[in-house]
Amino acid sequence: MSAALGGLVSFVAGLGFAAVASASRKDSVGLAMLAALRAEAVKIVLIVALLWVVLSVYKSVVIVAFIGTFTVTVIVFALALFVPEK
């Protein structure tokens, strides 16, 4: 359960990033950069909030599994940007 929650935190934050990024205007380079920064800010706020919620509500959390899975999923999502398009 702890590992699943760790992955879920990262996944939900990624969904928040995608929602904000896709809903923003990208008419110019400046607006596209602003959209990316706003989406990244939402992602960070969601990560902090969800980590706090899980660690404060779920008292039986196995911290190594939770943080380990969270870290791995954050790295995997970040590395997905480097996969080339075909």
Q: What is the per-residue pLDDT for 32? A: 85
Interior angle at CA 22, CA 53 and CA 73, nearest 5 = 45
Is pLDDT at 30 greater than 80 in this prediction? Answer: yes
Of the chain, the percentage scoring pLDDT greater than 70 comes to 100
Q: What is the per-residue pLDDT for 57? A: 94
53-70 burial: b if 16+ Cβ within 10 Å, else e: ebeeeeeebeeeebbebb
Q: Residue 13: is it exposed, middle or buried by C-beta count within 10 angstroms (0-12/13-18/19+)?
A: buried
Contacts of 86 (CB under 8 A, 6+ apart): none
Q: What is the per-residue pLDDT for 78? A: 84
* Number of neighbouring beta carbons within 10 Å of residue 10: 24
Q: What is the per-residue pLDDT for 38? A: 93
> Tens digit of pLDDT for each residue in 33-59?
898 899 999 999 999 999 999 999 999
Ranges of each domain in the chain: 2-82
CA distance 2 to 11: 14
CA distance 55 to 73: 18
Is pLDDT at 25 greater than 80 in this prediction? Answer: no
